[in-house]
Amino acid sequence: MAIECTCEFPRRSIAINPFLGKRVVINLCCLARVVEEQFGLAGIMEVTDLPAEECADWAKVEEAKERSSQEEVARWDKAERELGAEQAQYLLGNRPQPYEKKEPPGWLAARVGWERPKEWRRNSER
């Protein structure tokens, strides 16, 4: 019987041993939950809320990555205009690819009640 993880804080441990030619994934949260339930124990895995200042907002982080990427691209384009493509590439490397904001993975989206911000929606979705 496969375990479906519905834990509040999914947590897996992944280890690789190339000499064995194996990778192991241990579903720690579910393991802790099952052990607590089977043995009537508590406290094997304790999930507590972080203070607000330590919490991150997925949309804001993605928007910051996009802004930073746009600044890098603009800097490259400015160097190209002023110095030419060859010099821009010499000084700054290849022209950076613009970053595209990403949706959170499904497991996270489901747990935080993710909704794509209105500003992210394409015209066809409005």
Is residue 5 near Zn ion by the rule CB under 5 A? Answer: yes
Report the nearest approach of Zn ion to the CB of residue 35 (Å): 12
Burial of 73 (0-12, 13-18, 19+ CB in 10 A): middle
**Cβ proximity of 28 and 12 under 8 Å:** yes
For Zn ion, the binding residue among 30, 32, 79, 88 (CB under 5 A) is 30
Judged by CB, which is closer to Zn ion: 7, or 79? Answer: 7
Q: What's the one-letter identity of residue 12?
A: R
Q: Is 29 in the site for Zn ion (CB under 5 A)?
A: yes
Question: Which stretches of the chain bind Zn ion, using CB under 5 A?
Answer: 5, 7, 29-30
